[in-house]
Structure 1
Amino acid sequence: MPDSAHGAFFVVAAALACASAFQFAIEFSSEFWEWEDEKTSVAKLRLDLELSEERRILEARRLTPSAVERQASYKERTPAEVDRLRKESRHYRRVHLWMQWLLFFSSASISAITAWYDPPQPGKGALIFLGFTITVITAATGYFKPRERAFNLQQTADTIEQHVTALDLGIAPYAQTDAANLELFATTVENMRVEQRKREQQLDQPHQGQQEVV
């Protein structure tokens, strides 16, 4: 039994040694590494890389749409921008109305409690709470200015929509060629969006004396 075990061990060891030698010969043979381009110089590889980069840039330029196409795409995206502006305007308008109704209710409640309790000692807690509510709402309205934000957003949306309609109908100021009309439209709308963002920034800085919207 020991002799047979030793014999099997030597057979397995010999097989593993042969397999390792065979694998070593394959991995380090020239045929296995034939994918390496040993004859190509570094300068040629660098030149090929630069040519590939040039071809990539030329292909990207070829696939880039023209200015007229980009302006036409900008015009097609404008209705979605108008919807976004109007949605934000409705949001701020609702916030403003909610604040105003809460302010009216609190003011009327103070008058009612004062008239009901004479002297108003039993309703002192309610009066304090309502007075605090009025102060907070008044301060929040003056700081966040939801009414002015709603007005500016709605005004910008209406003006952009007016330009979209004028472009579709081909009326002034869009009575030129299609390319000129698209360029003028994109410039005008983008300027209006910039002005809208500037007004938003002014509303975020209430201590710089910006004009209030009446």
Structure 2
Amino acid sequence: MARSEIALDGGSITDEIIGYRREIADLSQRIRNRRLQVAGLYGTPVALFLLILSWAGLKIFVWLHDDIPSAVNGISFAGALVLALAAGVQLYAELEVEVWRDSGTSVRELKLELALAEERHVLEIRQRTPPPQDRQASYKEKLPAEISRLRKDSSHYRRLHLWMQWVLFISSSAVSAVTAWYDPPQPAKGVLIGLGFVVTVITAAAGYFKPRERAFNLQQTADSIQQHVTALELGIAPYNAPEEKVNLELFATTVERLRAEQRMREQQLDQPQQGQQQVI
């Protein structure tokens, strides 16, 4: 009976914490939506005014003594009509409470609600903090998502590096090909200038952002964490101690060290070359 009561109490605590997290996620989404609503509510009339002002400016400064071309009139009228309809629809949605969930609510008020929800969540967690062994076990369960994120980022930087290298190869080859094909008169000279610009930009971007190094570091960290996760699950060295508490503590310490090393490598890549040599 006591165990069932403890289980029910633990389940209610978990549901309450999950409820706080759902509230925080919901408020964060409402803030993003409200920002878009406010931007459209005020930005659409401004865009309409600028369009009408540009239309009048074209008449005054370009076609003062002539008629504006029908194409310009048609495009300007259609754009003004669309913006006017959009402004009217957004104004109606703002005044009618049932259309937009947070009509009449400022972003500042929603941010205040979010801050209060986060504070309630923190206070609830502090009052019901589980023992270290439970937190370490929970930490182990969160690592697959972290490994997946590291590998996803690594694949992203690897694809970016390959794309930059292929653009660099093609552009460099095209420079030689165009130079050999033409003397070069126009328009070959413009093509050469464009290709030389692409080669310069890609080379500078690859040297500055270092996507290959970032991909390698992320993949290496993901593989190392996965290796320790497997060792813990199989109970092999260095996680073959008789007590599970000792293994979990060593595992959490090791993984945090690997993540700290990854962050340090990222910081080194973000520094200039001279700064990297000083750090090393």
The TM-score with structure 1 as length reference comes to 0.68
Summarize deviations over 1:61-94 as a string: whole Å, max 9, x none.
Answer: 5x32100000000000011100000010011111
Q: Return the offset for 1:120.
A: 1.6
Aligned partners of 2:236, 2:227: CA distance in 1, in Å?
11
Which residue identity does 1:143 align to in structure 2?
Y
Q: Does 1:146 align with 2:215?
A: no
Question: Which aligned pairs between 1:107-126 and structure 2 lie closer than 5 A?
Answer: 107-117=172-182, 119-122=183-186, 123-126=188-191
Task: List structure 1 segments (4+ residues) > 2 angstroms apart after TM superposition.
Answer: 206-211
Question: Which aligned pairs between 1:1-16 and structure 2 lie closer than 5 A?
Answer: none
Where does residue 251 of structure 2 map in the other structure?
185
Summarize deviations over 1:8-46 as a string: whole Å, max 9, x none.
Answer: xxxxxxxxxxxxxxxxxxxxxxxxxxxxxxxxxxxxxxx
Query: Structure 2 vs 1, CA of residues 87 and 60 (structure 1 numbering), >3 Å: closer, same or farther?
Result: closer
More helix by share: 2
Where does residue 44 of structure 2 map in the other structure?
none
Which residue identity does 2:271 align to in structure 1?
Q
Aligned partners of 1:139, 1:192: CA distance in 2, in Å?
30
Question: Which aligned pairs between 1:1-214 and structure 2 lie closer than 5 A?
Answer: 63-117=128-182, 119-122=183-186, 123-176=188-241, 177-208=243-274, 210=276
Query: Structure 2 vs 1, CA of residues 180 and 92 (structure 1 numbering), >3 Å: closer, same or farther?
Result: same
Q: Return the offset for 1:111.
A: 1.1
Query: Structure 2 vs 1, CA of residues 171 and 138 (structure 1 numbering), >3 Å: closer, same or farther?
Result: same
Aligned partners of 1:101, 1:200: CA distance in 2, in Å?
25
Which residue identity does 1:170 align to in structure 2?
G
Higher RCO structure, 1 or 2 (CA under 8 Å, sep 6+):
1
Percent sequence identity over aligned pairs: 70
Q: Return the offset for 1:186.
A: 0.2
Aligned partners of 2:220, 2:274: CA distance in 1, in Å?
23
SS in 1 for 2:159: helix
Q: State the aligned residue count.
A: 152
Aligned partners of 2:272, 2:162: CA distance in 1, in Å?
21
Aligned partners of 1:170, 1:93: CA distance in 2, in Å?
33
Q: Return the offset for 1:103.
A: 0.2
Aligned partners of 1:208, 1:167: CA distance in 2, in Å?
40
Q: Return the offset for 1:208.
A: 3.0
